[in-house]
């Protein structure tokens, strides 16, 4: 048991709590507040494996990039997928986001695997988010102001709706084993309830901020759109566009497979 506890300790301890908290300064002296101290990056084997390597996000979403930065992936490369995202809407929301995220990852993998100038990526992360009405209609980004207003009114008037995000994480394998990469996927859903007392005036004012034009369902819960939401049941970051806990687990699974392949190759030699 003592050995197990020792194994959980980092090789180098982080700064003490006293050093981590800024000093209030000497009595009677005004202290100019500095920028907030950033937390230390997560010290995890999977994240350490990809330090300094190409980590590609198959999405132009700034929100997904910001979320990945929270777990230490700050040097991520943006290579948006060119997949048409035109799958049949008769698919279930689960299948729709799962297949779309997978196709996005494959699209970028095929384009970048033989990149002569940058080399192959160590990791590719793709995601797709949709909002699904209470009646099962898949809602993506609004295409006009009129559609945007109608979409938000429908979400307000029909009670709860769900947000589904599919995540696909890929890593090339060292071996030539078909298909040449490891792939792990996950779908997460969160239930969202708008405040039924939201006025049409507020909805119109929100639409005209244009915050929601590039977002599935037409609102951003991490921004002004939070004033529309009464409550959620599930993970907040999933509604933003990327469930972080699940994404980290996928990264660990994919890189573990790659590590296993490398051990097999070394054993065969």
Q: Hey, is 92 helix, strand or coil?
A: coil
The answer to whether the beta carbons of residues 107 and 81 sit under 8 Å apart is yes
For the CA atoms of 54, 58, 59, 62, what is the dihedral angle to 10 degrees? -20
Tokens standing for residue 120: 């192959």
Question: 192: Cβ–Cβ under 8 A, 6 or more apart, which residues?
Answer: 131, 160, 161, 162, 163, 221, 229, 231, 232, 239
| 123 vs 100: CA distance, rounded Å | 18
Strand intervals (E) in 118-244: 123-132, 138-139, 160-172, 181-194, 229-233
Residues that are catalytic: 128
DSSP labels for 222-253?
TTGGGGGEEEEES-HHHHHT--HHHHHHHHHH
Nearest to 98 by CA among 183, 169, 166: 166
Cis peptide before 215 (omega within 30 of 0): no
């Amino acid at each position: 048991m003592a050995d197990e506890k020792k194994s959980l300790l980092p090789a180098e301890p982080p700064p003490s709590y006293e050093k981590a908290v800024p000093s209030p300064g000497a009595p009677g002296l005004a202290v100019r507040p500095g920028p907030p101290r950033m937390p230390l990056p997560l010290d995890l084997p999977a994240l350490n494996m990809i330090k300094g390597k190409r980590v590609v996000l198959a999405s132009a979403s700034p929100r997904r990039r910001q979320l990945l930065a929270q777990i230490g992936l700050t040097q991520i490369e943006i290579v948006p997928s060119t997949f048409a995202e035109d799958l049949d809407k008769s698919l279930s929301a689960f299948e729709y986001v799962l297949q779309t995220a997978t196709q996005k990852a494959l699209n970028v993998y095929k384009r970048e695997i033989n990149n002569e100038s940058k080399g192959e990526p160590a990791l590719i992360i793709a995601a797709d988010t949709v909002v699904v009405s209470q009646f099962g209609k898949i809602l993506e980004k609004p295409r006009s102001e009129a559609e945007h207003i109608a979409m938000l009114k429908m979400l307000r008037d029909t009670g709860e709706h769900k947000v589904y995000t599919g995540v696909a994480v890929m890593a090339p394998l060292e071996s030539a084993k078909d298909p040449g990469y490891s792939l792990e996927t996950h779908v997460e859903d969160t239930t969202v309830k708008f405040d039924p007392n939201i006025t049409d005036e507020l909805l119109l004012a929100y639409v005209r901020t244009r915050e929601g034009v590039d977002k599935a369902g037409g609102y951003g819960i991490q921004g002004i759109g939070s004033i529309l939401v009464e409550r959620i049941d599930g993970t907040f970051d999933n509604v933003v566009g990327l469930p972080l806990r699940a994404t980290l687990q996928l990264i660990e699974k994919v890189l573990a497979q790659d590590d296993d392949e490398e051990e097999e190759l070394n054993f065969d030699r």
